[in-house]
Copies of this chain bind each other. A is one copy, B any other.
Amino acid sequence: MASVNAIIVERMQSDIDLIPTLAGHLVASGGKRIRPMLTLAGAMTTGAKNAETEEAQLNAAKLAAAVEFIHTATLLHDDVIDESNMRRGQETANAIWGNEASVLVGDFLFARAFELMVETGNLAVLDRLSKASARITEGEIEQMLIAGKPDTDIDAYLSVIIGKTAELFAAASETGGLIAGGDDAVVASLKDYGMALGVAFQITDDALDYAADETRLGKTVGDDFAEGKTTLPVMMAFLQGDAEEKAFWQRTIGAGDLRDGDLAEAQRLMAKYDAIEQSLAEARKHAEQAGQCLAALPSSPAKDALIETAAFAASRAV
């Protein structure tokens, strides 16, 4: 990961000082770097004989940096779209430097991600990550379209989180396998692993956004509620609610008419129907499934790391 971080810092440089300043603010703010880790570990689990060469390792590191750049670009754009002022306990880039700069630096990082991928010379990787990038934006647009609609069906929600989160997790681990020359079965296992892990992570995030303990998530509780996002715990509480409760969700999530005490009432209704616990159980199911996807891979420290990540995802969801 040290070489990935070095590439990230080097490649966000530009003659325009604002670019590394703004990008560095987000990059240095302590993200978990899960996606580039998936790429590196994916590359190291394949057992392919050329994966250990210096060139192969540099290519895997470049690819991991590219994946993190794509993620960072989407975060910059998300914060503009959500008009967010805080992320990871810090002011957002758009709050400090404005929406224009955040949109453009996001575009810059996206372009740089493709530069890095081109340098690996691997067209399969470029194919996979360009398709994933399109799918991410589709997921974000779907999320926008279901916002304010607590009566959304679960399939539409799953499509959103697969697009906005799981698709990049899947492409990160899958392209790690691809760049290391892993065989088709290994690459497919890595993809399935990333997909299940991403679904687990996003459902957990969505559930913990209504959990009482703010320190668990590292973000403010109630953000999704304030933004009218339609997420799994909301949908579960809505689905099981009586007419009066459904009207509450339509007024708050639906119409955005928020009053004092509404967040507490939302949490009370979720507790009544066990909606947070049910959501976390769903997340755990996907996290466990992720671990199982790796069963056929040969033993290695990298495989252990991926299994630990799946276990960590499951442990968040309690």
Contact = CB atoms under 8 A, between A and B. Distances in A.
A108 B145 CA distance: 16
Q: Summarize A's interface: helix, strand, loop or mixed.
A: helix
A138 B81 contact: no
B115 A16 contact: no
A134 interface: yes
Interface residues of A, number: 41
What is the copy number of this chain in the assembly? 2
Contacts of A81: 99-100, 103-104
A34 interface: no
Interface stretch (A25-33, A121-129, A255-263, A264-272): A121-129
A142 B16 CA distance: 7
Contacts of A74: 107
Contact of A134 (B101, B115, B136): B115
B134 A111 contact: yes
Given A114-B114, A114-B133, A118-B127, A107 B144 contact: no
A157 interface: no
A105 interface: yes
Contact of A100 (B107, B133, B144): B144
Interface string A72-102: 0110010011000000000000000001110
Contacts of A142: 16
Interface of A: 14-16, 18-19, 73-74, 77, 80-81, 99-101, 103-105, 107-108, 110-112, 114-115, 117-118, 121, 123, 126-127, 130-131, 133-134, 136-138, 140-142, 144-145
5 contacts: A16-B142, A108-B138, A114-B126, A115-B130, A118-B123
